[in-house]
Structure 1
Amino acid sequence: MFYLRDFVLIASLVSALSASAVQAHEHEHQHHDKNETSEAVEPTKLSEESIYNLGSELLDSNGKKVSIVSLKGQPVVISMAYTSCAYACPLIISQMQQLEKEVEAQGLKARFVIVSFDPKVDTPSVMKKYAEKRKLSSRWNLYTSSSDKTPREIANLLGIKYKKMEGNDYDHSFIITVLDKDGVIRGQQIGADKEPKELIKFLKN
């Protein structure tokens, strides 16, 4: 005969087992979430050779402060110039545009960056107008800074030398550099007499 006390006993056992199963599931779920969270927030370490370790702060063409490490994520073709330059700097940009066409033709990814070493003249608005004048695509970022300190730091890492001359002109190196997605130098074109398309091989690795 089935008594009420038997029903109560069975109900209590089922309830206890269900509660235990729920607690176990919640514990496992919390543990899983914890692991996912720790993996998501764990920062990616930069190579010691990355120029992004510099952490320099730049100004984009809208006047917004950005860190150089914001370039991280895809290959970068980078050089330095100043907007009032009459010969070498326009040639640097033209050669970078030639490389950009090759990048597009081969379906590769890359960003193109110019950092000004004349921050007093090359304000964000000046850089923006210069980009429009040269019809630079959305692949390009033109940066200036609030002082000469940041350009000097970046120039040193890229091997670029520049010196201010009379009449607000600069004597400077002609160097175009390819960085990998983590900011490590993969190759350079040194001199205007080289073929910029040769840099394409450094964008494939």
Structure 2
Amino acid sequence: MECEGDKTYTEPGSCPVCKMDLTLVELTSKTLADESISEESIFNLTSKWHTEENEVIQLKDLKGKTLVMVMIYTSCKAACPRLVADMRNIEAQLPDEKIKDIQFVMVSIDPETDTPERLKAFAIENMMDEEQWLFLQGTEGSVREFANVLSVKYKEISPIDFSHSNIISVFNAQGELMHQQEGLGVNNKETIASILEVTP
């Protein structure tokens, strides 16, 4: 029930303010979707991604879970193994009952090398092939766009080597950025607190 645009009532009858009859307002799924995705949400990005299972998804398909995201590439021998270890360390500190509501997402900055097959093999090698882990391969354009959103800088040094920022980002279930952890092997107490705060 609605009156004056912003007041809502759950019972039929008349408005105590203007005395007009209350009318039932149907909330469509579109209305609900529009309400829950803000302008800051990464779910507004329309790029398509391949998962390690070679399924095509958009970021909005991840809506409803807390997202812990990092940009890596599988042939990296320096920073990325440390970032993977940091992600594993964060996962290990979270209560088991929360894990079902959290998605750990590894986004490749090297879409040419990191095919879905390669990402799948990497996931298995690193024991990250459980449901809470997701690996994404995009196009060069979608990777660049997403890196800009996360303030991740990366640069190709050679065909198999990139210089890149080491940032782990936490998003709430509506895709809004809540926290970023920068550096390798840093104290992740604030990151854990942020994840627990936004995960029901």
> TM-score when scaled to structure 1?
0.77
Which of 46, 55, 77 is the equivalent residue of 1:86? Answer: 77
Q: Which runs of 5+ in 2 are unaligned?
A: 1-23
1:34-183 superposed matches below 5 A: 35=26, 39-40=28-29, 42-45=31-34, 46-104=37-95, 107=98, 109-136=101-128, 137-145=130-138, 147-183=139-175
Q: Is the 8 A contact 1:98 1:197 kept in 2?
A: no
Letter in 2 for 1:84: S
SS in 1 for 2:95: helix
Q: Could you say which structure has the larger radius of gyration?
A: 1
The answer to whether the 8 A contact 1:55-1:67 is kept is: yes
CA gap of 1:60–1:191, structure 2 versus 1, over 3 A, is same
SS of structure 1 residue aligned to 2:91? helix
Structure 1: segments with no counterpart, 5+ residues: 1-31
Q: What is the identity, as a one-letter code, of the residue corresponding to 2:190? A: E
**Which segments of structure 1 move beyond 6 Å, counting only runs of 4 or more?**
none
After superposition, the CA RMSD in angstroms is 2.0
Structure 2 CA distance for aligned equivalents of residues 134 and 60 of structure 1: 16
Give the structure with the larger strand fraction: 2
Paired residues in the alignment total 171
Q: Which of the numbers 187, 193, 198 marks the counterpart of 1:201?
A: 193
